[in-house]
Amino acid sequence: MPTITNIEDLRVLAQKRVPRMFYDYADSGSWTESTYQNNESDFQKIKLRQRILVNMENRSTQTTMIGQQVAMPVAIAPTGLTGMQHADGEILAARAAKEFGIPFTLSTMSICSIEDVSEQTGRHPFWFQLYVMKDRDFIERLIERAKTAGCSALVLTLDLQILGQRHKDIRNGLSAPPKLTLKNILNIATKPRWAMGMLGTSRRQFGNIVGHVKGVTDMSRLSEWTASQFDPRLNWQDVEWIKKLWGGKLILKGIMDVEDARLAVETGADAIIVSNHGGRQLDGADSSINALPAIVDAVGNRIEVHMDGGVRSGQDVLKARALGAQGCYIGRAFLYGLGAMGQEGVSKTLEIIHKELDLTMAFCGHTNIETVDKRILLPGTFPTP
C-alpha cells in the first residue's frame, strides 16, 4: 500500500482501481472542462498571510451548518453513481461521515437507496439531495421516504433541468451497471478489487428509482425514464411547493448569480450552495470560489451560504470560509478516497482535509474556525464583490 499524504495520492490510486467509465464520470466536466479546471486553479491563486508568535494551543475547527454541529465546516456532497465507485459506496461514505462528525448527502441518483443508507448507518441523520422530475407523484413519494428515513435536511438541486454534455461519458457509454461490451469487460478485468466487491453486493442499480416508479421495474426501462424525466420547466414556484411538502431544513444548490441568490432568500430556504455542479453543466461559467464573495455580499446574513466546486484540501476549505462560506461540500475528493480504499479511503480523505485545515488555520494566526475571515488572505490575491 502506497503512503497516502494528500488527496492527489487517493486520486491516483482510485484511477488504478475503478473501471474507466466510472472513474471518468467522477473526474470530468462538460464540454472543454474549463469551468471544472478553474474550480481548482482559482483556489490556488488565493494566497494566505502567515502569522507568527501566536498561541496555537487548543485549536478547534468545530462549527455549525444549518444549525447542525459539525467537526469542521465540510459536508459530503451528493454525487450520482457513488455505489459504482465502490460496492455499497453510499453506505460506506455515510458511515465514514458519521464517524467523523460531518453531514453526508445522498443523491437522488444513488445506487444505494435512502432506506439502505438509513438502515445501514443506524438511522444516523443524513441529508437528501432532490432532483425534480416531471413525475410529481414520484417526487412526493421520494420526499416522504426521506422524511421516514430520518433525513435532517433536503438539498434541492436547481441547475440540472437539462443535462450538460459530458464527452467522456458519451465515449464510454456510461451505464449502471456497465454494459458488458468487450471493451468494458477487458477494462473491468484489470480492476479485480472492484469486480469482487460488485459480485458481493446486490446494489447495482439506482435504488431510489427502480421499483419506486410506475413502469420501471428493471434497468432496461430506467435509462428511457430518466432521459425524459428531468424537468426543464422547474421554476421558483416549484421551490415553494417543495418547501411546503418537506417542512424541514431546505438547502438550494446551484446558485451562481447574485440575482438568483436574492430570489433564493425570498423562498425562505435555510441555505444556498454556490455551485456550478462541479463544472459538469455550463462550461464557461465562473468558478465557484470566484462567484462566492459577490453572493455573500448580496445576501448578507439573511441566508446561510455554502459552496462546492474544486475543494481538494483543507486550505481550500479555509479560503472559502475566509470569503464568507459557512461550509464547503466535497465531491470528487471523497470519491477518490472511496474508489481507492472504500470506507477507509473516505475516512482518510476527511482526516487529510481536517489536518490541512487545522494546521493552516494555526499558521494564519487563528485557533478557532469561527474567528477566520478574509484578513487571513493576502490582499490582491482573492476575488472581491
50 annotated among ligand-binding-site residues: no
Answer left, alpha or beta for residue 310, where phi above 0 means left and psi between -120 and 50 means alpha.
left
83 annotated among ligand-binding-site residues: no
**Nearest-10 Cα torsion for 376, 380, 381, 383:** 90
354 as an active site residue: the answer is no
Chain centroid to Cα 103, Å, comes to: 11
- Residue-level pLDDT at 241: 97
Distances (CA, A) of 347 to 76, 101, 103, 140, 243: 11, 11, 13, 34, 33
Number of residues that this document lists for the chain:
385
What pLDDT band is residue 270 in, cutting at 50, 70 and 90? very high
Look at residue 220 and tell me whether its pLDDT is greater than 60.
no
Q: Tell whether 370 is covered by a domain.
A: yes
Residue 216 pairs in a beta bridge with 213
79 annotated among ligand-binding-site residues: yes
207 annotated among ligand-binding-site residues: no
> Tens digits of per-residue pLDDT, 333-363?
999 999 999 999 999 999 999 999 999 999 9
Q: b/e per residue, 215-230, with b = 16+ CB within 10 A?
A: ebeeeeebeebbeebe
Q: Tell whether 289 is covered by a domain.
A: yes
Spatial distance between the Cα atoms of 82 and 106, rounded to a whole number of angstroms: 9
275 annotated among ligand-binding-site residues: yes
Q: Tell whether 384 is covered by a domain.
A: no
Q: Write down the catalytic residue from 167, 212, 277, 354.
A: 277
Determine whether 244 is exposed, middle or buried from the number of CB atoms within 10 Å of its CB (0-12, 13-18, 19+): exposed
What pLDDT band is residue 213 in, cutting at 50, 70 and 90? confident
> Tens digits of per-residue pLDDT, 82-120?
999 999 999 999 999 999 999 999 999 999 999 999 999
- Residue-level pLDDT at 2: 79
Q: Tell whether 156 is covered by a domain.
A: yes
- Residue-level pLDDT at 256: 98
Give the domain CATH number at 339. 3.20.20.70
∠ CA 101-307-47, nearest 5°, is: 100
Asked whether the beta carbons of 61 and 354 are under 8 A apart, the reply is yes
Asked whether the beta carbons of 304 and 271 are under 8 A apart, the reply is yes
239 annotated among ligand-binding-site residues: no
> Tens digits of per-residue pLDDT, 126-185?
999 999 999 999 999 999 999 999 999 999 999 998 888 899 988 988 887 888 889 999
Q: Tell whether 1 is covered by a domain.
A: no
51 annotated among ligand-binding-site residues: no
Structural domain of residue 126, as residue ranges?
7-376
> What does the pLDDT average to over 282-293?
98
What pLDDT band is residue 222 in, cutting at 50, 70 and 90? low
380 annotated among ligand-binding-site residues: no
Neighbours of 164 (CB within 10 A): 17
E strand or H helix at 306? strand 304-308
Q: Tell whether 147 is covered by a domain.
A: yes
E strand or H helix at 252? strand 250-255
Asked whether the beta carbons of 94 and 117 are under 8 A apart, the reply is yes
Query: How does strand 68-70 pair with strand 63-65?
Result: antiparallel
Q: 213 or 41, which is more confident?
A: 41
> Tens digits of per-residue pLDDT, 9-33?
999 999 999 999 999 999 999 999 9
What pLDDT band is residue 224 in, cutting at 50, 70 and 90? low
221 annotated among ligand-binding-site residues: no
Q: Tell whether 2 is covered by a domain.
A: no
> What does the pLDDT average to over 194-213?
93
Q: How many domains does the chain have?
A: 1
Q: Tell whether 381 is covered by a domain.
A: no
- Residue-level pLDDT at 71: 98
What pLDDT band is residue 219 in, cutting at 50, 70 and 90? low
- Residue-level pLDDT at 257: 98
Spatial distance between the Cα atoms of 174 and 333, rounded to a whole number of angstroms: 21
70 annotated among ligand-binding-site residues: no
- Residue-level pLDDT at 221: 58
Asked whether the beta carbons of 4 and 11 are under 8 A apart, the reply is no
